[in-house]
Amino acid sequence: MAKLYYGSDIAPIALPDRLMGYIKVITSTKLRRGESFTLTWTGTTEEPGRSTIWLQPAIPLRFVFDSVEPEQLVGDYLRSLADQANAASGLVIDTRTWESAEEATRTPVRSARPVGRSVLAA
């Protein structure tokens, strides 16, 4: 499980490494541009409800991953999450279903476009 340390909170947000890889890429991109947004996650075993944090450049963040190597991310799923982060509702992730949503972007649905490319989380 990867951990996100947010602001001065000593209790980290724990999510799967690959999911946190997506969040890291989106967060880094948006904060580098000076854009703030909300991140909401639902359905963890520790927190069965819903949690939301406000991400903005002045709040310190630290991502800690169990894996030494960067995760392989699916480009199409990354783009769909980035689009969602740009919406008024912010980035919303259901930790119970994100893997099936990611997998769905790997297989084209009645489309001639190629299967999504992998992206390294860095």
Separation of alpha carbons 50 and 30, rounded Å: 22
Residue 76 makes CB contacts below 8 A (sequence gap 6+) with 105, 106, 116
Separation of alpha carbons 96 and 102, rounded Å: 12
What pLDDT digit, counting tens, does each position of 68-114 carry?
999 899 999 999 999 999 999 999 999 989 999 999 988 554 434 44
Angle at 87 between CA 82 and CA 93, to 5 degrees: 60
What pLDDT digit, counting tens, does each position of 8-36 carry?
999 999 999 999 999 999 999 999 999 99
Give me the mean pLDDT over the 41-60 stretch: 88
Beta strands in the chain (DSSP E): 2-6, 13-15, 37-42, 50-55, 61-64, 72-74, 91-94, 118-120
pLDDT reported for residue 112: 40
Cα 51 off chain centre by: 14
